[in-house]
């Protein structure tokens, strides 16, 4: 019996060692993928390839993308290749190639390659991650929700939240520094809570509000959560088999309950509000958006087929919340840092804000916001220097020959558009570390390649909420600059370093600013 047991153990160990050796050899061979194609690639590290620093959280995504871009650019390459464990990823450097991928030849790169699972992780199946016809149909239905007319409909909510931001800021003005990332995260939480659900989150009054706490949780990942992310990136089929969840269960349960309760309450009580949820409910119940001033004769018409399920409403609300909460608060945070570092620019922008408000009876209106052109330049320069998403992701859906080359990108290959690298390239932005809003004057914009500025993406998958994000950013900055003067506090870590545990660009140690009331 002992002999049989020993033989079994020896056989098992032999099989295990053989499989391990084969796997490691296969991974090592995978790291030569681009070299075998004759494409430049930075040195890899075993076993995670170019993703080692991301996996171990020793480097932020922004720094990672910038360093890879510089490596390839310094070698005068049109493009290059990366390998994350065993998965190849293509990185264009030439902007004409970038434009072809995002616009001209979009049919080859229609999908982002983001993992989602409609059954086991329903909140992951949102517009950002959906693929093919599902994405196309949903995009067509949701696009009208962000027209200027519907943004105006929500504008009063933004102004109300702006007033609440001022009330909270007044409490410590001239007394103590404020951590702007947290403060502005609470501000955008209140805006999105109101605009998405008609819910008074009161995050500004109550920093421990559960909405704010749950969404902060989403953007900070542990080692095991990063491992989940890696598996879903390199092996999405395996990830679905394992039923991996990108959205943390605690957050998913909370959010699904909020959405279901909101939908049920509104439908049972025939509640109407000027917000995003109202528009989603129209898509659920009528299959299209209807002008609220029109007369609906539903009694005499066939009832339309339901277009959005409650789970789909939840998923779209979720991505609206995530995108609106984090990217806008991050942009405002870095913008205030640069304005505090450049008092002359801060004063010039403050002057514009006051002059515009003077023309509008000192009221913050939608039309007033649209007249703040220098503010738009300042925001765009912030987005250039600190893009919230340092790269754009696409997946090749059918073999593609890169224009002007013999390289064929194979179906299934990931594509990383290096936003952080492009926007810090001195070829397009001389002295790129300098904060200079004049780069975005109408004349200077016309002289640059259209793909030299990509914070919102480009082409058919450009950010659908671009205008809403800019609107809430302008409202927040208008309130702050009209009422306060900012300077850097010693708690802010200089030079700035980016948090490696967050895939959104975020400063390590927070952003502490001193401010005095004007």
Q: Which residues participate in the annotated binding site for heme?
A: 463
478: which 2 tokens? 């208008």
- Cα separations (Å) of 443 from 440, 447, 448? 8, 7, 9
Residue pair 252/121 in contact (Cβ under 8 Å)? The answer is yes
Residue pair 482/468 in contact (Cβ under 8 Å)? The answer is no
Residue pair 402/409 in contact (Cβ under 8 Å)? The answer is yes
55: which 2 tokens? 């996996």
Question: Binding site: what residues are annotated?
Answer: 463
Helix (H/G/I), strand (E/B), else coil: 513 = strand
246: which 2 tokens? 């990108």
Cα separation of 183 and 332, whole Å?
A: 10
Cα separation of 94 and 75, whole Å?
A: 13
Cα separation of 15 and 1, whole Å?
A: 21
Residue pair 49/31 in contact (Cβ under 8 Å)? The answer is yes
Cα 412 from chain centroid?
A: 23
- 404, HSE (Cβ side, Cα atoms, 13 Å): 10
Cα separation of 354 and 349, whole Å?
A: 9
How many Cβ atoms are within 10 Å of 238's Cβ, its own excluded?
11
Helix H or strand E encompassing 6: helix 2-30
- The two beta strands, 414-417 and 87-92, are parallel
280: which 2 tokens? 């989603």
- ∠ CA 257-262-264, nearest 5°, is 95
Residue pair 241/269 in contact (Cβ under 8 Å)? The answer is no
What sign for the dihedral angle of Cα 349, 350, 354, 360?
Answer: positive
């Amino acid at each position: 019996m002992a002999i049989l047991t020993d033989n079994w153990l020896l056989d098992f160990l032999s099989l295990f060692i053989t499989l391990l050796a084969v796997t490691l050899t296969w991974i090592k061979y995978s790291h030569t993928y681009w070299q075998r194609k004759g494409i430049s690639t930075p040195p890899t590290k075993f076993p995670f390839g170019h993703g080692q620093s991301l996996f171990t959280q020793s480097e932020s995504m922004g720094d990672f993308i910038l360093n890879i871009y510089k490596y390839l650019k310094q070698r005068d390459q049109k493009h290059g290749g990366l390998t994350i464990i065993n998965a190849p990823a293509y990185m264009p450097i030439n902007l004409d190639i970038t434009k072809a991928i995002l616009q001209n030849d979009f049919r080859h790169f229609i999908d982002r390659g983001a993992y989602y699972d409609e059954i086991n992780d329903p909140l992951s199946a949102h517009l950002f991650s959906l693929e093919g016809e599902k994405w196309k149909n949903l995009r067509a239905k949701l696009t009208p929700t962000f027209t200027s007319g519907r943004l105006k409909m929500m504008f009063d909510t933004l102004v109300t939240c702006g007033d609440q931001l001022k009330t909270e800021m007044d409490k410590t003005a001239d007394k103590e520094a404020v951590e702007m990332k947290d403060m502005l995260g609470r501000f955008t939480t209140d805006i999105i809570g109101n605009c998405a659900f008609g819910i008074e989150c009161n995050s500004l009054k109550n920093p421990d509000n559960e909405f704010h706490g749950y969404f902060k949780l989403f953007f900070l990942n542990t080692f095991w959560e990063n491992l989940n992310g890696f598996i879903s990136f390199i092996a999405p089929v395996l990830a679905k088999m394992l039923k991996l969840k990108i959205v943390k269960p605690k957050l998913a349960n909370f959010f699904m309950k909020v959405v279901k309760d909101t939908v049920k309450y509104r439908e049972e009580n025939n509640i109407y509000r000027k917000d995003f949820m109202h528009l989603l409910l129209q898509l659920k119940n009528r299959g299209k958006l209807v002008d609220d001033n029109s007369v609906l004769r539903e009694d005499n018409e066939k009832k339309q087929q339901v277009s959005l399920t409650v789970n789909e409403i939840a998923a779209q609300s979720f991505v609206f919340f995530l995108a609106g909460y984090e990217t806008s608060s991050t942009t405002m945070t870095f913008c205030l840092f640069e304005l505090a570092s450049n008092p002359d620019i801060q004063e010039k922008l403050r002057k514009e804000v006051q002059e515009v408000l003077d023309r509008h009876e000192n009221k913050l209106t939608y039309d007033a916001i649209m007249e703040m052109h220098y503010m738009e330049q300042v925001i765009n320069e912030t987005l250039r220097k600190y893009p919230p998403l340092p790269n754009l992701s696409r997946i090749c859906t059918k073999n593609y020959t890169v224009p002007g080359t013999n390289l064929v990108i194979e179906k299934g290959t990931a594509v990383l558009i290096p936003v952080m690298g492009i926007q810090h390239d001195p070829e397009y932005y001389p002295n790129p570390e300098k904060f200079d809003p004049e780069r975005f004057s109408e004349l200077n914009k016309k002289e640059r390649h259209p793909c030299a500025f990509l914070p919102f993406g480009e082409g058919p998958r450009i950010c659908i909420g671009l205008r809403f994000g800019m609107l809430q950013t302008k409202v927040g900055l208008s309130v702050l600059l009209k009422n306060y003067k900012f300077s850097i506090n010693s708690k802010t870590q200089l030079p700035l370093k980016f948090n490696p545990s967050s895939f959104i660009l975020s400063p390590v140690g927070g952003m502490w600013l001193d401010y005095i009331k004007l």
